[in-house]
Each structure stands twice: as structure tokens, then as C-alpha cells.
Amino acid sequence: MNTTFKTVPSSHITISELMLPSHTNFSGKIHGGYILSLLDQIAFACASRFSGNYCVTASVDTVNFLKPIEVGELVTMKASVNYVGTSSMIIGIRVEAENIQTGVVKHCNSSYFTMVSKDKEGKNAPVPGLILTTLKEVSRFQNCVKQIALKKEREYQRSIATFGSIENILSLNQYNIKVKLQ
């Protein structure tokens, strides 16, 4: 059992970046792929700060794009460790965009990255335990536990599913598709 523990605030990372025209997609909004790249960077920094090791992205569990980000807005990302396992951590990230002329701030994205701590040989390395000091931190930790359980249940259901059964094929008539098997 790990005897080293750290607080959630010891993992806090904040980055801000001005959104430029070079970051846009074809509709003139900031490209989601660019935001994903920034999310991965802050998740790495947060996990590495907390664990004291190099960390890799194991999965991107949730990325909710809530509002578009405009050119000229100041994007601020705030990350913290919400959950720790043996060598893994779930990093919660909040993305806000500020219109720097009006001062209006909008919540644009919430994301959860699972990061894994690695030692110098590239093997999984243990991470410190997590000290939860507020009800919000406890709630975030519990939400991660629920999400892990739901993910395991989905994986189990996928492993036992019989997608090619006649019953499953016939049930597809409720969707906007045509089944033409050859």
C-alpha cells in the first residue's frame, strides 16, 4: 500500500492561451482538434506534477464541447487530479473562454483524461494516494468511481453481446437505417 499522499490542490495546473485565426476550422470557430491537443498537454502536466513521473494518456473518457470558442477569446484550462488508482489518475479539466473586450466568460468544455504514470524503464509506476479535503473533491472522486464501474459494465456487456442474432437485427427497424446483408 502506498504511504505517500498528496492533496488535490498540489496537482492544480492552469494554462491560458489567446485563440488565433490559425486555430480555426472551416466555420471560423476554434478547431476542436486544437482544443484536444491543449487538453492532452494540460492533462500530462497535471498528472506528471502529481505523480512526479512521466505520464501517458491511457484514454480520453469524456470530452463535452458545450459552446464554440471564437477567435480573439482567451481560453483558460484548469486541471486537477480527481481520482487515483495504483498507477493511473483521472484528470478533470474545465475549459473557459473569455471575451477579453467585454470580460464575459463562458464554460466551453469539460473533459476527463485517464493518465498512467511511467518509470524510467517505461513500466507503470505507483502514484501517491489522494487526500480529499472538500466535499467537492469527495464528489469528484465518487463520480470517477461510478464512471469506472460503468465503463467496466459496458466492456462486459460488449463481450457477451450477440450483435448478429436475428432478434438484434430485427430490433434495428426503430432506427433510420436499412439492413441489406449479403
Read off the pLDDT of residues 113-132 as tens digits, 9 standing for 90 and up: 999 999 999 999 999 999 99
pLDDT over threshold 60, residue 154: yes
Name the DSSP class of 24: B
**Is the per-residue pLDDT at 91 higher than 70?**
yes
pLDDT digits (tens, 9 = 90+) for 43-82: 999 999 999 999 999 999 889 999 999 999 999 999 999 9
pLDDT digits (tens, 9 = 90+) for 6-47: 999 999 999 999 999 999 999 999 999 999 999 999 999 999
Non-local CB neighbours of 82 within 8 Å, separated by 6+ positions: 8, 90, 91, 92, 112, 137, 140, 141, 143, 144
Helix boundaries (H) for 17-130: 32-51
- Rounded to whole angstroms, what are the CA distances from 55 to 33, 37, 116, 136, 140? 21, 15, 5, 25, 21
